[in-house]
Structure 1
Amino acid sequence: MQQSNFRRWVTLAIISISGGVSFDLAYLRYIYQIPMAKFMGFSNVEIGLIMSTFGITAIILYAPSGIIADKFSHRKMMTSAMIATGILGFIMASYPPLWVMLAIQVAFAITTILMLWSVSIKAASLLGDHREQGKIMGWMEGLRGVGVMALAVFTMWIFSRFHPDNSNSLKTVILIYSGVYIALGILCWFFVTDGFTAREASAEEVAKPAFKLSDIIAVLKIPTTWYCSMIIFGVYTIYAILSYSTNYLTEIYGMSLVAASYMGIVINKIFRAMCGPLGGLITTYSRFKSPTRVIQFLALIGIITLVALLITNQNPQSVAVGIGLILLLGFTCYASRGLYFACPGEARTPTFVMGTTVGICSVIGFLPDVFVYPIVGHWQDTLPAAEAYKNMWLMGLGALCVVVVFTFLLSQKIRHQQPREHVESLQENGNA
């Protein structure tokens, strides 16, 4: 039993790290935009086009990724996705022309979103029952963060060992990522199962019908799908807003760009690794015992924090206060990110449509990727800094109010809903 439990956590680590680092080459601009322009010969506009190509394709593929997770072997999908992503990296390391890079980004979206995203989340969720979802998803987010941070630090160190004008520096970074992807793909083959775990299937799972297209409509008819989607939507809006922390600290508090950039690393890398597991621990050991209620509690703390940011935004004096408030908001965001995909499991979503549910929730929940950045960018370009960031914090306040409302609705639904009733409702909707 102890060995089985050990293997379960090793499997979770492999799934989490694979799901986390798989996006790093698609998002290479986040760290290496200047080297990409210098060595690959792309303008900043072209690099932006490369990024938007991945983003648009990803939004289209989130929902189908859920169907993939419900219909195909998790082991085969994760293994092939990671190895294929590594092979694409080798092509990317040849510094191809723009049209090839655009094709690679579309292919990255297929391997990381269509083949891997919902599969990895469902595979992790199956490692425990509904009572363990908060702990599992919290650790999944934390392990993803650890993997991303460790590989980013290592590749940055390798990059720094080269002469600034040596084009092999970026190429080496890309090749390291590619090799790691292929190695993780091999580990997935040996550790990830086809879709079941050592825990015994419930009666509902044994009697589950085969997945069919009408299940998509059935999932959309379930209120908890929309509740979970809107919870993710609100939390992810805060996640997108926090990417402007560096700009905020430099423009409002006059912090140096270097110091503010270090704060950005703390918020976006270190906090991601730490806060996901903390959210799971809060769920497991606090009196809440519910990922949904923990997210609601964190959203209330976030609302108070945003009100404080709005007040200090008008009269910024202490940079320490500004940093403290942003770190507190970052904690609530990343702890919630580690829990929001536990909500469908807590709502007793049947496992045979869990992937579809995750896919639909991802499409709706990650829509802030489409509108937050252009809106905030417009405010930054057209308004005084104080007013632009006031509007940004107000947007975040509205998003957290959405989280509070829909966590309340989901909690009420969970409280009055029995697992069998949920399955019967799904089957009735599917047959309608």
Structure 2
Amino acid sequence: MQEKKQTSAVTKWMTLIIVAIAGGLMTKLPYLRETYMVPLQEATGATKTQLGLIMSAYGIVNFICYFPGGILADKFSCKKLIIFSCFGTAAAGLWYWTMPGFVGLVIIHGIFAITTVFTFWAAMVKSINNLGGPDEQGRLFGFLEGGRGLIGTLVAFGSVAVFGKAIDQVGGMKNAIMYYSILLIIAGILAMIFLQDNKPVQTDGKKKNSLNFKDFMEVAKMPTVWLCGALGICNYSALIFHGYLTAYLSEAYGLSDTMVANLNIVRTYFMMMVGSFVAGFVSDKVGSRIKFIQYVFVGMAVFATVYLLIPTGGAAALPLIVANFLCFGLCLYSIKALYFSTIDEVFVPKRLAGTASGVISLVTYAPEMFLYTVSGNMVDKYTGTSTPLRGYQNCFTAMAVMSLIGFVCGAVLRYLNKKQRAKMEAEGINELA
């Protein structure tokens, strides 16, 4: 018995590590624009508008793929889907390396959407969800998100190193693309060797691997799943608005480009790692991921409001706003790590975990299609006016409002959960298969 437990622990940790590696690498190629905007323009010959259109195409196909990807993860082996995603993304990356024209880049990013979302995203979520029961989901997903952040940070620094080995920006860009493609191939090989192959659920002696809408309808009738998505959309919207904080620090306090860049790295990577690990362990200790998320939303609302209260322009206020920046970031990324840890807590059967993750993703990441434009317009509207910082302050207000809405959604979700738990106990149901 002891040996079995040890083997189970080894398998669990190996799965977490391999999936975190794949998850940390998977979106690096489609989001090269975020790190290498100018070199990417020179290498591909694309304008900023064309690069924006390419990313819009990627985001739209992503949105379309979240739901069917969830069904796919429930019907087929997560191991095979993850392996296919690693090799498929790498193959598209090798085409990317040839620097095709604009149409080719659009097609490549359409392929990226298929391999990073349709075949990978829900498979990643379900493979982690299957590793433990409801009392472990916080730690599991906290480790996953923190591990993805750690891997993402390390490989990003590696890409900068290989980029610098080239004699010009075009060569550097090709080096970075080849670097990520090779790492994805290695991740696929590791998945082939170390991941366990989960078998499709069987019904009436037959493999249940046909794609249909029956499972979606079963999940769609659960208001709690949609509310889990509402928690995600409130947090993710606040994350998009918070992206303007570093520009605000530059304009309102005169911080140097170097300092702003360093703070942006802290916001994007360090707070993601710290917040994820903390959230994973603390939320399981609390006993409810939803309760933890609900009250962290209170912290987000408070710290978003503090941004509005701190005086602008004075060097004396800098330590205060940086401290607030760290506190808000910790809250923000703590919730982000737990988007999918709520699946078991709202009594979704294990066999439908992938479909549920697809629905939650569909709702959570919907703002990607429009909120970047909306928030940008909010800031640009006051540029050159007598109140140039008003747009940023409106973003902080929106962050506070979204946080309060998230708190209310959490309260409703806990109420519905309590009713469902009482109903299951009355019917003598202890667990959903």
Q: Residue 22 of structure 1 contacts residue 85 of structure 1 at CA under 8 Å; is this kept in 2?
A: yes
Aligned to 1:306: 304
Three-state SS of the structure 1 residue aligned to 2:36 is helix
- Provide closer, same or farther for how the CA distance between residues 23 and 394 of structure 1 changes in structure 2, counting only shifts above 3 A: same
Aligned to 2:394: 391
| Distance in 2, Cα, partners of 1:364 & 1:64 | 14
| Distance in 2, Cα, partners of 1:385 & 1:312 | 16
Aligned to 2:76: 72
Equivalent of 2:294, from 272, 282, 296?
A: 296
Aligned to 1:24: 28
Query: Alpha-carbon deviation of 1:99?
Result: 0.5
Q: How does 1:133-144 map to 2 (within 5 A)?
A: 133-144=137-148
| Distance in 1, Cα, partners of 2:229 & 2:25 | 24
Choose 88-97 or 14-23, whichever is displaced more.
14-23
Choose 379-388 or 395-404, whichever is displaced more.
379-388
1:152-192, Cα deviation, whole Å (9 max, x unpaired): 011112212333x2522111111110011111112112233
1:71-127, Cα deviation, whole Å (9 max, x unpaired): 111111110111010011111011111100100000000000000001100111101
Equivalent of 1:97, from 95, 101, 104?
A: 101
1:304-361, Cα deviation, whole Å (9 max, x unpaired): 1111111126676512211111111110011111112101122121111111111111
Q: Residue 21 of structure 2 contacts residue 151 of structure 2 at CA under 8 Å; is this kept in 1?
A: yes
Aligned to 2:161: 157
Partner amino acid, structure 1, of 2:319: A
The reply to whether residue 147 of structure 1 matches residue 146 of structure 2 is no
Structure 1 unaligned blocks of 5 or more: 425-432
Q: Residue 246 of structure 1 contacts residue 263 of structure 1 at CA under 8 Å; is this kept in 2?
A: yes
1:237-273, Cα deviation, whole Å (9 max, x unpaired): 1221222222111112111122111100011011112
Three-state SS of the structure 2 residue aligned to 1:167 is helix
- Provide closer, same or farther for how the CA distance between residues 418 and 262 of structure 1 changes in structure 2, counting only shifts above 3 A: same
Q: Residue 224 of structure 1 contacts residue 344 of structure 1 at CA under 8 Å; is this kept in 2?
A: no
| Distance in 2, Cα, partners of 1:209 & 1:97 | 42
Q: Residue 57 of structure 1 contacts residue 106 of structure 1 at CA under 8 Å; is this kept in 2?
A: yes
Query: Alpha-carbon deviation of 1:11?
Result: 0.9
| Distance in 1, Cα, partners of 2:345 & 2:199 | 18
| Distance in 1, Cα, partners of 2:76 & 2:109 | 24
Aligned to 2:264: 264
Equivalent of 1:174, from 174, 177, 181?
A: 177
The reply to whether residue 320 of structure 1 matches residue 324 of structure 2 is no
1:121-155, Cα deviation, whole Å (9 max, x unpaired): 01111010111111101111001101111100111
- Provide closer, same or farther for how the CA distance between residues 51 and 313 of structure 1 changes in structure 2, counting only shifts above 3 A: farther
| Distance in 1, Cα, partners of 2:311 & 2:120 | 41
Equivalent of 1:61, from 60, 65, 69?
A: 65
Partner amino acid, structure 2, of 1:16: A
Q: Residue 252 of structure 1 contacts residue 313 of structure 1 at CA under 8 Å; is this kept in 2?
A: no
Q: Residue 302 of structure 1 contacts residue 332 of structure 1 at CA under 8 Å; is this kept in 2?
A: yes
Equivalent of 1:418, from 418, 421, 425?
A: 421
- Provide closer, same or farther for how the CA distance between residues 44 and 302 of structure 1 changes in structure 2, counting only shifts above 3 A: same
The reply to whether residue 368 of structure 1 matches residue 371 of structure 2 is no
| Distance in 2, Cα, partners of 1:256 & 1:314 | 16
Aligned to 1:406: 409
| Distance in 2, Cα, partners of 1:374 & 1:357 | 28
| Distance in 2, Cα, partners of 1:269 & 1:113 | 21
Partner amino acid, structure 2, of 1:119: A
Three-state SS of the structure 2 residue aligned to 1:42 is coil
Aligned to 1:430: none
Structure 2 unaligned blocks of 5 or more: 428-433
Q: How does 1:188-199 map to 2 (within 5 A)?
A: 188-195=191-198
Choose 297-306 or 22-31, whichever is displaced more.
297-306
Q: Residue 291 of structure 1 contacts residue 340 of structure 1 at CA under 8 Å; is this kept in 2?
A: no
| Distance in 2, Cα, partners of 1:166 & 1:404 | 46
Q: Residue 252 of structure 1 contacts residue 385 of structure 1 at CA under 8 Å; is this kept in 2?
A: no
- Provide closer, same or farther for how the CA distance between residues 256 and 296 of structure 1 changes in structure 2, counting only shifts above 3 A: same
| Distance in 1, Cα, partners of 2:343 & 2:379 | 37
| Distance in 1, Cα, partners of 2:177 & 2:301 | 40
Cα RMSD of the aligned pairs, angstroms, is 2.4
- Provide closer, same or farther for how the CA distance between residues 217 and 316 of structure 1 changes in structure 2, counting only shifts above 3 A: farther
Query: Alpha-carbon deviation of 1:20?
Result: 2.6
| Distance in 1, Cα, partners of 2:339 & 2:216 | 21
- Provide closer, same or farther for how the CA distance between residues 394 and 130 of structure 1 changes in structure 2, counting only shifts above 3 A: same
Q: How does 1:6-21 map to 2 (within 5 A)?
A: 6-21=10-25
Aligned to 1:108: 112
Q: Residue 375 of structure 2 contacts residue 395 of structure 2 at CA under 8 Å; is this kept in 1?
A: yes
Q: Residue 292 of structure 1 contacts residue 340 of structure 1 at CA under 8 Å; is this kept in 2?
A: no
| Distance in 2, Cα, partners of 1:100 & 1:36 | 14
The reply to whether residue 120 of structure 1 matches residue 124 of structure 2 is yes
Aligned to 1:237: 237
Query: Alpha-carbon deviation of 1:196?
Result: 6.2
- Provide closer, same or farther for how the CA distance between residues 377 and 214 of structure 1 changes in structure 2, counting only shifts above 3 A: same
Q: How does 1:203-352 map to 2 (within 5 A)?
A: 212-285=212-285, 288-312=286-310, 318-352=317-351
| Distance in 2, Cα, partners of 1:233 & 1:78 | 26
Three-state SS of the structure 2 residue aligned to 1:96 is coil
- Provide closer, same or farther for how the CA distance between residues 298 and 64 of structure 1 changes in structure 2, counting only shifts above 3 A: same
| Distance in 1, Cα, partners of 2:338 & 2:320 | 27
Q: Residue 96 of structure 2 contacts residue 177 of structure 2 at CA under 8 Å; is this kept in 1?
A: yes
Q: Residue 313 of structure 1 contacts residue 390 of structure 1 at CA under 8 Å; is this kept in 2?
A: no
Three-state SS of the structure 2 residue aligned to 1:345 is coil
